[in-house]
Amino acid sequence: MKPFRRPPAPGTAAVVSLARALSKLGFCSRTQAEKLVREGRVEVDGRRARHAELRIDPQRVRLRVDGQAVSAASRVYLMLNKPRGVVTTTSDPEGRQTVYACLDGLDLPFLAPVGRLDRASEGLLLMSNDTRWAQRILDPASGVEKTYHVQIDRVPDEAFMARLQAGALDDGEMLTTRAARLLRHGRRNAWVEMVIDEGRNRQIRRIVEAAGAEVLRLVRVGIGQLELGDLPKGAVRELGDADRTLPLAGRAVPAGKTLGSAR
C-alpha cells in the first residue's frame, strides 16, 4: 500500500479544553481523551493533567500521552462504504462491530465520522480528523444534499410519490425532501431515490413511514458531489482536493484510490 499524500495540518489557534485539543490534533476522540486524563496518562508542559476540561492553547503547550509527545496529525479525508449492521461510534457497550473495523490495518490517525448512519443503514460515510471541514458539511446552512436509494415494501403510485416529495410533520418536526423519484419496482416492492439537505434523526425512515410504507433497505449513495459508485462494502478511499471543495454540490468528482476493505 502506498503512503497517503496528505496536506500539512493547519494550526489550531483557539484555546480549548484538553480533551478537545487531543481530539482536534487527531490523537483520539474527546471521550477517549477524557478517559486518558482520568487514568493519569496525559501531561501538559511536563505536569500530569488532572482535569479534561483544563483550558489550553495547543500551539503553546507540550502535550504527552504515556510519555510520548503529541503533535498535530496531517489531515486525512476518507469516504467509506459502511456495511449494514455496524454502528457509527468509536466503541459500543453492547460489543457490536463499529465502522472502525473497516480501518483496521491502515496507518491512520484518529478519524471521526462526519455525521452518522444508523446500524440498519449502509452506504457513503465520510471520516476525517479535520473538524472544521466536517462542521461545514454538517451545518444546515451549507445546504449539502444527501442522496439515498431506499427499498420500500410496496409499489408506489403517484399519490405516494407526492407524499414523499412533500415531506412529513412528525413529532412536531417538519421533515423536508428536496427530491423523490421512482427508480424501479417489482411485484411487491420498489426502490426510490430521495434527496434531503438536512440531517435529522432517522429523517428518511420517518418520511417513508409517514407516507404509508416501510423501509426495507436504506443506502446513502451521495453527499453533494461525492458518489459512492462501485466502492466495495467496507472499503475506503482517500478524497482528493477537488472532492473536498465546498459547496459539495453538482456533478460528482471521482474519489481517490482504494486503500483497503473489511468484510
230 catalytic per annotation: no
Q: pTM score > 0.85 for this model?
A: no
- Of 69, 81, 79, nearest in space to 25 by CA: 69
Is 8 or 25 the better-scoring residue by pLDDT?
Answer: 25
User: Residues 6 or more apart from 215 whose CB is under 8 A from it?
Assistant: 150, 151, 152, 204, 205, 208, 209
Residue 37 domain-assigned? Answer: yes
pLDDT recorded at residue 248: 53
Residue 27 domain-assigned? Answer: yes
pLDDT, one tens digit per residue, over 151-164 is: 999 999 999 999 99
Reduced to 3 states, what is the DSSP secondary structure of residue 125?
strand
pLDDT recorded at residue 246: 52
Judge if 86 and 204 occupy the same domain.
Answer: no
Residue 10 domain-assigned? Answer: no
Where residue 257 falls among pLDDT bands split at 50, 70, 90?
very low
Judge if 150 and 216 occupy the same domain.
Answer: yes
pLDDT recorded at residue 131: 83
Judge if 152 and 54 occupy the same domain.
Answer: no
pLDDT recorded at residue 250: 40
Judge if 110 and 239 occupy the same domain.
Answer: yes
Judge if 132 and 245 occupy the same domain.
Answer: yes
pLDDT recorded at residue 48: 94
Range of the domain at 245: 77-140+224-260
Bridge partners for 192 per DSSP: 150, 182
pLDDT recorded at residue 89: 87
Q: What is the mean pLDDT of residues 112-120?
A: 92
Judge if 63 and 84 occupy the same domain.
Answer: no
pLDDT recorded at residue 188: 95
pLDDT recorded at residue 12: 42
Residue 3 domain-assigned? Answer: no
Judge if 157 and 216 occupy the same domain.
Answer: yes
CA-to-CA distance for 150 and 164, rounded, in angstroms?
Answer: 12
Q: Of 48, 70, 92, which residue sits at a domain end?
A: 70
pLDDT recorded at residue 110: 87
Residue 212 domain-assigned? Answer: yes
Q: Which DSSP symbol is given to 72?
A: P
Judge if 197 and 218 occupy the same domain.
Answer: yes
Q: What is the mean pLDDT of residues 138-163?
A: 94
Give the helix/strand (H/E) hosting 44.
strand 42-44
pLDDT recorded at residue 78: 95
We report the CATH number of the domain holding residue 104 as 3.30.70.580
Residue 4 domain-assigned? Answer: no
Phi/psi of residue 32, nearest 5 degrees:
-65, -40
Judge if 124 and 162 occupy the same domain.
Answer: no
Q: What is the mean pLDDT of residues 114-141?
A: 91
Judge if 130 and 245 occupy the same domain.
Answer: yes
Judge if 89 and 213 occupy the same domain.
Answer: no
Number of domains comprising the chain: 3
pLDDT recorded at residue 39: 93
Where residue 202 falls among pLDDT bands split at 50, 70, 90?
very high
Residue 87 domain-assigned? Answer: yes
Reduced to 3 states, what is the DSSP secondary structure of residue 121?
coil
We report the CATH number of the domain holding residue 208 as 3.30.70.1560
Residue 1 domain-assigned? Answer: no
We report the CATH number of the domain holding residue 48 as 3.10.290.10
Q: Of 45, 57, 92, 118, which is the active-site residue?
A: 118
The bridge status of strand 173-175 relative to strand 168-170 is antiparallel
- Of 118, 113, 144, nearest in space to 217 by CA: 118
pLDDT, one tens digit per residue, over 225-255 is: 899 999 999 999 999 887 876 555 443 333 3
Q: Is residue 22 pLDDT above 60, yes or no?
A: yes
Judge if 149 and 187 occupy the same domain.
Answer: yes
pLDDT recorded at residue 119: 94
Percent pLDDT > 70 in the chain is 88
